[in-house]
């Protein structure tokens, strides 16, 4: 190998990451012992950022484009290397290519149920799952905390920790929001925004930008779901019974119209249609309303016949005695509440018994 070939092998002309490996977020350019010469070409593809790192600290960074590496566009690295070493190349610099595209549909979920306190059902053990998206930043914290001396940093190296953190923030957010279990499904967006807000600062400290977070489902225990279904069935019972009774009555009327002699059948069908609704409604009303007062007691009268007390009689019995002459307007009567015996026609409750009968109706024209 000639001297020119040796020098050429020691100097790198093109710096690029042409083939992105799936799942790799940060790739260190493989230069081994070679030096990146001044005037080399740097190619940064769309969705990438190239970062020059000197002794573990970011020196210069480049967004998508093609660059000629000269002193003018590497001001920080030039200053760091030229002063102590009288630099001829950037051989001490490491080049990292960072995938800046958004990492979509990253899944998270609760491996174990999380506890939740609810006013309706008490302590609940719930499960949840969803997805989130993020992208890698170019901060010093990201390279120092996540990449270090590795040649590649993969999504799987961080996403397990992120998933655990999402579940932790979900538990805290549910405690802060205090949303009833029956209303969780209607507040997925609000819960997701709270979790994202709490999680974003944690991820930013590692140089990761949280783009979105979605809650796909929060599931309650089977026994709670059964209680909710039962409560809904009870709530709809009154409406269902009314509709059912109306349908049965309509069917009974239709059957009666088709069978003119089936009056008894019609009544039976109508009673059958009304029975279920009436029985349920009556039982419910008896539980919700106070019992009615007892009916008033019909007055009972004593009469005086030949100086002897007889009775007591109900008003209907006294009316029947008028026809036989055993009870007249002048008959003395007494009942509870009266100060003395009085003639029957002077007692308001009995005076109507002696009213004259109505006149006969007029003859037909």
**In the block, which residue shows the tokens 């070939």?**
5
User: Phi, psi at residue 78, to the nearest 5°?
Assistant: -60, -45
Q: Which of 19-28, 253-262, 290-299 has the lowest mean pLDDT?
A: 253-262
pLDDT (tens digit, 9 = 90+) per residue, 15-24?
Answer: 999 877 888 9
pLDDT (tens digit, 9 = 90+) per residue, 118-132?
Answer: 888 888 999 999 999
pLDDT of 352 reads 85
pLDDT (tens digit, 9 = 90+) per residue, 320-341?
Answer: 888 888 889 889 999 988 888 8
At 1, the pLDDT band (50, 70, 90 cuts) reads very low
| Mean pLDDT, residues 271-287 taken together | 53
pTM over 0.85: no
Structure tokens at 50: 């190239």
Q: Residue 315 pLDDT > 90, yes or no?
A: no
At 165, the pLDDT band (50, 70, 90 cuts) reads very high
Provide the mean pLDDT of the chain. Answer: 79
| Mean pLDDT, residues 165-190 taken together | 92
| Mean pLDDT, residues 29-55 taken together | 82
Q: Which of 66-70, 110-114, 163-167, 260-264 has the lowest mean pLDDT?
A: 260-264
Structure tokens at 135: 């992208």
pLDDT greater at residue 52 or residue 13 = 52
Counting Cβ atoms within 10 Å, is residue 1 exposed (0-12), middle (13-18) or buried (19+)?
A: exposed
pLDDT of 286 reads 56
CB 169 within 8 A of CB 195: yes
Q: Residue 214 pLDDT > 50, yes or no?
A: yes
At 159 the three-state DSSP class reads helix
Q: Residue 285 pLDDT > 60, yes or no?
A: no
- Whole-Å CA distances, 357 to 328, 352, 362: 16, 11, 15
């Amino acid at each position: 190998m000639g001297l020119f070939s040796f020098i050429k092998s020691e100097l790198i002309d093109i710096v690029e990451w042409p083939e992105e490996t799936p799942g790799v977020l940060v790739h260190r350019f493989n230069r081994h012992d070679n030096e990146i010469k001044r005037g080399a070409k740097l190619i940064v593809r769309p969705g990438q950022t190239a970062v020059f790192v000197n002794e573990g600290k970011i020196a210069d960074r480049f967004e998508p484009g093609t660059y000629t590496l000269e002193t003018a566009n590497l001001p920080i690295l030039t200053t760091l290397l030229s002063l102590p070493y009288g630099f001829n190349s950037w051989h001490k610099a490491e080049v990292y290519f960072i995938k800046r595209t958004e990492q979509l549909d990253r899944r998270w979920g609760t491996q174990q149920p999380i506890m939740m306190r609810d006013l309706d059902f008490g302590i609940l053990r719930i499960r949840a799952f969803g997805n989130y998206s993020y992208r890698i930043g170019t901060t010093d914290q990201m390279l120092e905390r996540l990449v270090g001396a590795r040649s590649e940093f993969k999504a799987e190296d961080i996403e397990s920790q992120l998933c655990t953190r999402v579940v932790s923030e979900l538990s805290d957010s549910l405690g802060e929001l205090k949303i009833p279990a029956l209303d969780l499904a209607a507040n997925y967006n609000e819960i997701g925004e709270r979790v994202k807000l709490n999680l974003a600062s944690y991820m930013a400290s590692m140089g990761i930008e949280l783009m979105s977070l979605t809650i796909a489902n929060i599931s309650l225990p089977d026994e709670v779901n059964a209680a909710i279904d039962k409560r809904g069935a009870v709530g709809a019972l009154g409406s269902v019974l009314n509709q059912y009774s109306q349908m049965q009555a309509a069917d009974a009327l239709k059957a009666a119209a088709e069978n003119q002699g089936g009056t008894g059948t019609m009544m039976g069908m109508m009673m059958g249609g009304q029975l279920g609704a009436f029985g349920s409604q009556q039982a419910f009303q008896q539980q919700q309303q106070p019992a009615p007062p007892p009916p008033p007691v019909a007055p009972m009268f004593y009469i005086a016949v030949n100086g002897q007390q007889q009775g007591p009689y109900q008003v209907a019995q006294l009316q029947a005695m008028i026809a036989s002459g055993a009870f007249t307007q002048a008959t003395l009567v007494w009942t509870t509440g009266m100060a003395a015996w009085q003639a029957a026609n002077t007692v308001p409750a009995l005076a109507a018994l002696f009213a004259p009968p109505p006149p006969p109706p007029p003859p037909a024209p």
